[in-house]
Amino acid sequence: MNPRRVRAVAKRIAEQFRRDRRSLGLLIGAPILVMSLVGALWGSSTAQVSRIVVATDRAPAPQLVAALRRSPALAVTETTVDEAMRRLRDATVDAVISTRVGFVSTEIVVVMEGSDPFRSGTTLQSIQRAVLAAVSVPPIPGAPPAGPPPVVVEYLHGGPDHTLLDLLAPLLIGVFAFFFTFLLSAVSFLRERTSGTLERLMATPLRRAELVVGYLAGFSVFALIQAVVIIAFTVLVLNVKYSGSLATIFLIEAMLVIVSVSLGLFISAFARTELQAVQFIPVVLVPQIFLSGLLVPVDQLPDVLRPFAAIMPLTYSNEALRGVMVRGLEIGDPVIVRDLLVLAAFGVVTIAGAIASIRREVA
Amino acid sequence: MSAVEGSAAGSGAAALVATDVTKRFGSVEALRGLSVTVREGEIYGLLGPNGSGKTTFIRCVAGLVRPDAGSLALWGGEPREAVAAGRVGYMTQAAALYVELSVEENLGFFAALEGVDGVRQRIEEVLRTVDLLDRRRSVVGTLSGGMRQRVSLAAALLHDPRLLLLDEPTVGVDPTLRRDFWDHFRGLATRGVTILVSSHVMDEAGRCDRLGLIRDGRVLAEGSAKELVARAGTADLESAFLTLSEGATA
């Protein structure tokens, strides 16, 4: 090994990095960005507040209700069982607490909404803590503390017969579609820009909007094929249980892909090499994985991060896919309609951005 | 205007009129008041060293770059209008093709964009012109540089444009084929097609009806090859170019 030649190679790489300021910036900046996110997400002890309803017509013991109210992690409201269950089906609350007279004693019944495994986890934990706190205070001063009352946990969605995969696979379908179509469209459009074919295309009657819509159509087909393969694989091989209609799932997928492809086309204007395009992944994709409800429910995010979640397309596709595939919502459900409309609005903005980014280069 | 060599070349109305075109990219002044008129059926050669502004001017004519000042018209209208109407064919300096696709697939794509009728037959015709019919199913990525140039020319010819923009069309093309190319260009010009071609190959420049010697974004001298040689009082076009450009910068 000749040290001079090794040094020459190393020196050349340093010189190339010096010219490629953007790569250098991302090399340093991207981890800082991701670490700041992780810090804001998990570094602070922000209370994650779960919304629970206590049934008034089948109310548990007053000291339990008091313990639930004392818990900083629980926001407690009270209403009838029927109304409470309606709210649970709408997913506007996380759990309903009531009682049921059993053979031996009166048991406490906790019905979990259940479609988000992480939310269910924190909610159930907070309820159990409150139950334990309630029994540690003896009903009559001086008497020995009573044993904990039997607690029965039921699930509206998910539950013990569902695995974590059943509840997360729907979201992963969206994440995969977004990730791959974003990356592929960014790289292939970058190639179009750098190889001279974009310039050649602009010297034909082809309009910029036609080019962008053509890209969207082409990529959407492959994204839908990808979705079919993933769904088939998760159902047939991994035995994942889904509900909801395939057509609605495809519609959500297609809307998401339109956003990701046009975002890819837009981003490609800011990269000069494929390496630089790939470096946009930590900037565009990683925050969405952290903040879009995949790992932490959006309404339980720290205050500083919630506005970011609101401007991320995956937040809406995750909610919609979970709604359809776990909660079994129909396409006409207000939640699904709203998510689709928001995704459409994202699409309009990113398509306009993609078209404008072509204008930037070619007068 | 002087008499030109060849047949009916340059007898038509003006196809391209550029007047005092300027274009600046950041600190680089690519075009500094370039004026050129090319008539229908004429082969006009832009002759100049690298970086003289030839490609920038051709990109302006193709509607890809908007001049900062001056005017540029194709048949009296905006370049972009002529491009949208399918009247312009553009062969870029480096072959702009999809390397993953076959020759036929590339041409089929460009034919669709230009709205060509009878695509199959037309692809066959242009491939015969560039002598690549037997490679029609080859993937472009497997072709040599010269072959890619030929596919690129075929793509520019597909829709039978009225104005052909050729940016150094014969780079990497062997002498025999280069001669065939030029025979074909002459044939097109005879049929009334206007050709704007850039080159720094002198023997090729000699085959143009008129030449514009370009340097630093300006036309230094204009005329047929014979006229330019006579004006410079030199033995050949290459020396004429050097003499005329030195005279202009002195």
Q: Do A205 and B86 touch (CB under 8 A)?
A: yes
**pLDDT > 90: percent of chain B:** 68
What is the identity of the amino acid at B146?
Answer: G
CB-hemisphere CA count at 13 Å for A297? Answer: 22
Chain-chain contact of A200 with B96 (C-beta, under 8 angstroms): yes
Task: Tell me whether residues A205 and B110 touch, CB distance under 8 A.
Answer: no
Mean pLDDT of chain A: 86
Q: What is the pLDDT of residue B67?
A: 94
Which range has the worst mean pLDDT, A170-179, A217-226, A352-361, B40-49? A352-361
Q: What's the domain range around A109?
A: 50-155
User: Chain A partners of B62 at a C-beta cutoff of 8 Å?
Assistant: 203
Q: What is the pLDDT of residue A360?
A: 46
Cross-chain residue pair A202–B65, CB shorter than 8 Å: no
Q: For B67-118, how does the pLDDT look when each residue is reduced to its tens digit (9 = 90+)?
A: 999 999 999 999 999 999 999 999 998 889 999 999 999 999 999 999 999 9
Mean model confidence pLDDT for chain B: 89
Instruction: Determine the CATH number of domain B1-78+198-250.
Output: 3.40.50.300
Are A229 and A329 members of one domain? yes
Q: Is A37 domain-assigned?
A: no
**Residues of B with Cβ-Cβ distance to A197 under 8 angstroms:** 96-98
Instruction: Give the span between the Cα atoms of B209 and B44, in whole angstroms.
Output: 6
Would you call B88 helix, strand, or coil by DSSP?
Answer: strand
> Quick check: is A229 in a domain?
yes
pLDDT value of residue A103: 73
Give which of B153, B156, B162, B208 is closest to B181, Cα–Cα: B153
Cβ separation A205–B64 shorter than 8 A: no
Query: A87-96, A222-231, B2-11, B223-232 — which is least confidently predicted?
Result: B2-11
Whether residue B2 has pLDDT greater than 60: no
Calpha distance B250→B244 (Å, rounded): 10
Q: Which residues of B touch A (CB under 8 A)?
A: 59, 62-66, 83-86, 88, 90, 92, 94, 96-99, 110, 113-115, 155, 165
Residues A112 and A195 in one domain: no
A343 shares its domain with A196: yes
Instruction: Pick from B113, B153, B160 the residue to mutate for testing the A interface (most A CBs within 10 Å).
Output: B113
CA gap A100, B156 in Å, rounded? 81
Rounded Cα distance, A25 and B4, in Å: 58
User: Which residues in chain B have their CB less than 8 angstroms from residue A202's CB?
Assistant: 63-64
Structure tokens at B68: 């900062």
Q: How close A220 comes to chain B (CA, Å)? A: 20
Residue A319 lies in a domain: yes
Q: Are residues A199 and A319 in the same domain?
A: yes
Three-class SS state of A12: helix
| R_g of chain A computed on alpha carbons | 26
Q: Answer yes or no: is pLDDT of B62 > 80.
A: yes
Q: Is residue A45 part of a domain?
A: no
Q: What is the pLDDT of residue B3?
A: 41
**Helix (H), strand (E), coil (C) string for B128-160:** HHCCCHHHCCCEHHHCCHHHHHHHHHHHHHCCC
Q: Are residues A116 and A172 in the same domain?
A: no
Q: Among partner residues A195, A199, A204, which is closest to B113 by beta-carbon distance?
A: A204
* A40 falls within a domain: no
Tokens found for residue B224: 């047929």
Whether residue A200 is found in the same domain as residue A348: yes
End-of-domain residue from the set A101, A121, A155: A155
pLDDT of B5: 43
Backbone angles phi, psi at B210, to 5 degrees: -140, 155
Answer whether residue A165 shows pLDDT above 90.
Answer: no
Residue A97 and residue A207 in one domain: no
- Say how far residue A339 (Cα) sits from the centre of its chain: 13
Cα maximum dimension of chain B: 55
Q: Which of A197, A199, A203 sits opposite B83 (nearest CB)?
A: A203
Q: Are residues A344 and A222 in the same domain?
A: yes
The C-alpha atoms of residue B240 and residue B234 are separated, in whole angstroms, by 6
pLDDT of B250 over the 60 cut: no
Q: How far apart are CA A166 and CA A158, in angstroms?
A: 8
What residue ranges in chain B does DSSP mark as E strands? 14-25, 28-39, 43-47, 69-74, 88-91, 163-167, 194-199, 210-215, 218-223
- What's the CATH code of the domain at A101? 3.40.1710.10
In a shared domain, residues A173 and A150: no
Which domain-ending residue is among A130, A155, A180? A155
Residue A27 located in a structural domain: no
Query: Which of B198, B238, B230 has the alpha carbon at shortest distance from B52?
Result: B198
pLDDT of B153 over the 90 cut: yes
Judged by average pLDDT, the poorest of A142-146, A261-265, A292-296, B203-207 is: A142-146
Least confident segment among A188-202, A340-354, B230-244: B230-244
Judged by CB atoms closer than 8 Å, whether chains meet at A199 and B96 is answered as: yes
**Contact (CB<8Å) A205/B113:** yes
Domain count, chain A: 2
Residue A117 has pLDDT above 60, yes or no: yes
Q: Same domain for A111 and A183?
A: no
Question: B171 vs B57, which has greater pLDDT?
Answer: B57
| Shortest Cα distance, chain A CAs vs residue B93, angstroms | 9
Which residues lie across from A154 on neighbouring strands? A111
The β-bridge relationship of strands B210-215 and B218-223 is: antiparallel
| pLDDT band for position B11 (cuts 50, 70, 90) | low
A186 with A225, same domain: the answer is yes
Domain boundary pick from A96, A128, A155: A155
Tell me the chain B residues in contact with residue A203 when contact means C-beta distances shorter than 8 Å: 62-64, 83, 88, 90, 165
Q: Are strands B14-25 and B69-74 parallel, antiparallel or unpaired?
A: antiparallel
Please answer yes or no on whether A203 and B84 come within 8 Å at the CB atom: no
**Residues A210 and A308 placed together within one structural domain of the fold:** yes
